Amino acid sequence: MTFGDLQFEAVHEEDVYLIESFLKLSSYQESNHNIVNMFMWKSWFPLWKHVNENFLLLLGKYQENYFLYMPLCAAEYRHEALKAAITLFERADIPFHLSCYTEEIKNEVLQLFPDLQVIEIRDGFDYIYEKEKIITLSGKKLQKRRNHLNYFVKNYEHRVEFCDIKDYLDECTSFLSNWKSDMKDEFFQNERMGTEYLLTHFHLFPAWGACLLIDGKVEGFIIGSYANEDMIQLNVEKANDEYRGIYQYLEREFLKSCNMNVKWVNREDDMGYENLRKAKMANQPEYFIKKYVMRAR
């Protein structure tokens, strides 16, 4: 199979603005349909694009399998985009495989192609939190995390500077190179590579971030981007957890700085890692964005 057969072209950095413009038309809140996320993980999930005046199709690849992201377009063009997509897959003689689909778009797909096999992917569910609850950590269920925050405030806040990440990109890259450097897991290695890429190319993306300095030294940083008007996605959170409560403090201060219209925080999925699932569940998500894979039987 050649990409000419599929009429898809490789995605490059100069495509950021184009893809972002179609993402805005789509108004998806799902974490994989986020321009920062896409480019962070592009070395693990390569991307190709097919552009039409009404829609943009993104082809991904994981291991040896090609898959289609949700069509990037206004709602009225989704059916047109999906029909074009299945034609392209058939022309290239590869299985029609859709991944990272939300429940709403999955149901639209099944209206067109009712015979597709549907698989719910629990490891891919996005965890959605109320912004105000992460800031205040109010309520009995969040008492333990509130205790961590209070400990940090009492013991370290007087030594803290909270700065725009753009002024400390090199320092954050240096911090990242030493952060949990003994972890050899493939996921963490690819996440580290993607985060290094993002720090190096930060100017390309509609993202903003902050870093936390203790005694003048970077001990953590956070990067986010808007999913839409009322949701922010936290793309990266890294900190020196030898400082008890540093993550709670980092999240609180960062979210206090975001648009006042933002109500929800997407902290992405857990990739099936039990430690990540436990940590995300401990933060008491308000709901999940469920994900589905669909493919020909």
**Residue 240: per-residue pLDDT:** 96
pLDDT band, residue 1 (cuts 50/70/90): very low
DSSP state of 114: T
Cα 61 to chain centroid, rounded:
17
Cα 225 to chain centroid, rounded:
9
User: Which has the closest alpha carbon to 125: 279, 278, 270?
Assistant: 270
Segment holding 239, helix H or strand E: strand 231-239
pLDDT over threshold 80, residue 83? yes
Between 5 and 60, the higher pLDDT residue: 60
pLDDT over threshold 90, residue 258? no
**Residue 188: per-residue pLDDT:** 86
pLDDT band, residue 7 (cuts 50/70/90): confident
% the chain with pLDDT above 70? 98
**Residue 5: per-residue pLDDT:** 57
**Residue 54: per-residue pLDDT:** 97
Q: What are phi and psi of 205, to 5 degrees?
A: -115, 150
According to CATH, the topology of domain 3-124 is Aminopeptidase (3.40.630)
Q: Give me the mean pLDDT over the 225-245 stretch.
A: 95
pLDDT band, residue 151 (cuts 50/70/90): very high
The CA distance from 176 to 195, in Å, is 8
Asked, colleague to colleague, whether 3-124 and 126-268 share their fold, the answer is yes
**Residue 183: per-residue pLDDT:** 79
Residue that the structure tokens 């199979």 belong to: 1
pLDDT band, residue 181 (cuts 50/70/90): confident
pLDDT over threshold 60, residue 4? no
% the chain with pLDDT above 90? 88
pLDDT tens, 154-175? Answer: 999 999 999 999 999 999 999 9
pLDDT tens, 108-131? Answer: 999 999 999 999 999 999 999 999
Q: What is the CA radius of gyration of the chain?
A: 20
pLDDT over threshold 90, residue 182? no
**Residue 260: per-residue pLDDT:** 80
| Annotated domain spans of the chain | 3-124, 126-268
pLDDT tens, 185-199? Answer: 888 889 999 999 999
Between 260 and 36, the higher pLDDT residue: 36
Burial level of 279, CB count in 10 A (0-12/13-18/19+)?
Answer: middle
pTM of the model as a whole: 0.94
Q: Give me the mean pLDDT over the 88-105 stretch.
A: 94
pLDDT over threshold 70, residue 231? yes
pLDDT over threshold 50, residue 289? yes
Question: What is the CATH number assigned to the segment(s) 126-268?
Answer: 3.40.630.30
Residue 195 near residue 179 (C-beta atoms within 8 A): no
Characterize 18-29 residue by residue with b for buried, 16 or more Cβ atoms within 10 angstroms of its Cβ, and e for exposed. Answer: ebbebbeebebb
